[in-house]
């Protein structure tokens, strides 16, 4: 457990909490952008340790949570096809579309399978040449290279029956959108350490300067998070707004050049819809035209035909978008923990383990 237990050490936690208490002189709101960080904050009761002047806001850093309903509906439409084996990570299985989720269509006879890697889907395609194997590839910059590696491997093997339904998002564009909202309440950001490990920190410098907000790169363990909060509060109290790397053991300044090259070769940006938030310009990534044979959205050019649907009232009133923009908290939702719970989720943030609603339901 080396390199893990030491970042959960109780004495170091106490030391950092005391340092934060001695530093803060007024109220500040700090947003962690990553769902994994939100999960750790809830699990380790980080908020309960902090002085009352510090409020933590929870950003849209869960790709499962922000995948638009239209993409879910397309996934369901593809999964229903008899020639298709539709594969996905487990956390996408229960994300509600307009009418159903993937588990529902599986129960009705569709060949829907949970896998642990998109590379497993490549193996499945090779073993089932008479079937079209589709992998629901969802992620931020952290996991995107893995899915692209699967596409490259299918290409290397000469497979024509493998494709991905991509739902790829970029974090800096979301931060830009949140801060451009005149009603935003964010004083400083904790940026996602694993995203920065891939992409580096370059995209955050113009954001820190444009909006005069400190941006601190941090990790996921209690000490990582508390240290990131401490460094952010130090900047806020001093009136500075810099990009600071508080996760140097993992994040190099320039990121991973090999993965960045892979992404630039295979992907192009486009205006992506974020569930509950709306369209964010150039915040999505999709396969370039020369990889269209591996793009399930093009391969199965279709849309779910939806007519005369009675949409659940709670789903219409879900405030997940406001929660992920930092304008509200999970407890502000009238359905939280009642009509909406992990067994019967109304909104996507109650499904994924990284979703803010699920994290707070499970741990608080």
25, pLDDT greater than 90: yes
Q: What is the pLDDT of residue 304?
A: 45
The residue among 167 and 331 whose pLDDT is bigger is 167
Closest Cα partner for 302 from 8, 84, 34, 27?
84
Do 326 and 178 form a contact (C-beta atoms < 8 A)? Answer: yes
| Lowest-confidence segment of 106-110, 112-116, 178-182, 360-364 by average pLDDT | 360-364
Question: How confident is the model over 71-109, as pLDDT tens digits?
Answer: 999 999 999 999 999 999 988 998 888 889 999 999 999
184, pLDDT greater than 80: yes
Compute the average pLDDT of residues 327-340: 83
- Kindly report the average pLDDT of the chain as a whole number: 90
Q: Which CATH class is domain 1-364?
A: alpha beta
Distance of CA 188 to CAs 38, 66, 142, 213, 301, Å? 15, 22, 22, 5, 42
Count Cβ atoms below 10 Å from residue 111 Cβ, excluding itself: 18
244, pLDDT greater than 70: yes
Count Cβ atoms below 10 Å from residue 53 Cβ, excluding itself: 14
Compute the average pLDDT of residues 338-364: 80
Do 110 and 88 form a contact (C-beta atoms < 8 A)? Answer: no
Helices (H) and strands (E) in the chain, counts: 17, 11
Q: In what order do the strands lie in the sheet with 112-114?
A: 112-114, 84-88, 132-139, 162-169, 278-287, 267-274
Please calculate the CA angle 61-62-64 and round it to the nearest 5 degrees: 150
**What's the sign of the alpha-carbon dihedral 293, 297, 299, 301?**
negative
Query: Scanning the structure block, which residue is given the tokens 């954001």?
Result: 207
- Distant-in-sequence, close-in-space partners of 78: CB < 8 Å, separation ≥ 6: 84, 86, 134, 165, 296, 300, 302
H/E stretch holding 188 reads strand 188-192
Distance of CA 219 to CAs 78, 116, 181, Å? 37, 23, 26
Do 287 and 266 form a contact (C-beta atoms < 8 A)? Answer: yes
Query: Scanning the structure block, which residue is given the tokens 């307009």?
Result: 98
pTM value surpassing 0.85: yes
Q: Give me the percent of the chain exceeding a pLDDT of 70.
A: 95
| Distance (Å, whole) CA 269 – CA 104 | 32
Question: How confident is the model over 148-169, as pLDDT tens digits?
Answer: 999 999 999 999 999 999 999 9
Tokens at residue 297, please? 């959205």
Question: How confident is the model over 277-321, as pLDDT tens digits?
Answer: 889 999 999 999 999 999 999 999 754 444 434 445 555 678 877
130, pLDDT greater than 50: yes
DSSP state of 332: G
Do 210 and 268 form a contact (C-beta atoms < 8 A)? Answer: no
Q: What is the pLDDT of residue 271?
A: 96
């Amino acid at each position: 457990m080396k390199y893990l237990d030491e970042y959960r050490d109780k004495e170091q936690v106490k030391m950092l909490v005391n340092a934060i208490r001695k530093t803060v002189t007024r109220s500040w709101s700090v947003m962690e952008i990553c769902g994994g960080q939100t999960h750790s904050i809830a699990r380790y009761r980080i908020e309960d340790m902090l002085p009352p002047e510090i409020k933590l806001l929870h950003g849209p850093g869960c790709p499962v949570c922000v995948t638009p309903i239209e993409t879910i509906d397309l996934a369901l439409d593809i999964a229903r096809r008899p020639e298709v084996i539709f594969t996905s990570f487990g956390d996408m299985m229960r994300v509600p579309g307009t009418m159903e989720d993937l588990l529902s269509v599986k129960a009705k006879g569709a060949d829907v399978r949970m896998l642990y890697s998109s590379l497993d889907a490549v193996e499945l395609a090779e073993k089932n040449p008479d079937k079209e194997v589709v992998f629901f590839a969802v992620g931020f910059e952290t996991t995107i290279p893995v899915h692209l590696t699967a596409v490259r491997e299918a290409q290397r093997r000469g497979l024509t029956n493998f494709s991905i339904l991509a739902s790829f998002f970029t974090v800096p564009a979301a931060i830009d959108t949140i801060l451009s909202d005149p009603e935003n309440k964010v004083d400083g950001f904790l940026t996602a350490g694993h995203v920065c490990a891939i992409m580096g920190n370059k995209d955050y410098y113009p954001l820190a300067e444009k909006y005069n907000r400190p941006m601190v790169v941090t990790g996921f363990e209690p000490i990582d998070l508390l240290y990131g909060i401490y460094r952010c509060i130090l900047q806020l109290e001093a009136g500075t707004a810099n990009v600071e790397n508080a996760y140097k053991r993992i994040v190099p300044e320039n990121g991973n050049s090999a993965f960045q090259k892979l992404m630039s070769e295979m992907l192009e940006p486009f205006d992506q819809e974020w569930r509950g938030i709306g369209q964010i310009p150039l915040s999505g990534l999709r396969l370039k035209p020369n990889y269209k044979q591996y793009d399930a959205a093009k391969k199965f050019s279709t849309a779910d035909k939806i007519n005369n649907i009675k949409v659940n009232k709670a789903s219409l009133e879900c405030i997940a978008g406001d929660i992920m923009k930092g304008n509200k908290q999970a407890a502000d939702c009238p359905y939280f923990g009642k009509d909406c719970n992990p067994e019967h989720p109304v909104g996507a943030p109650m499904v994924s383990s990284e979703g803010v609603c699920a994290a707070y339901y499970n741990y608080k």
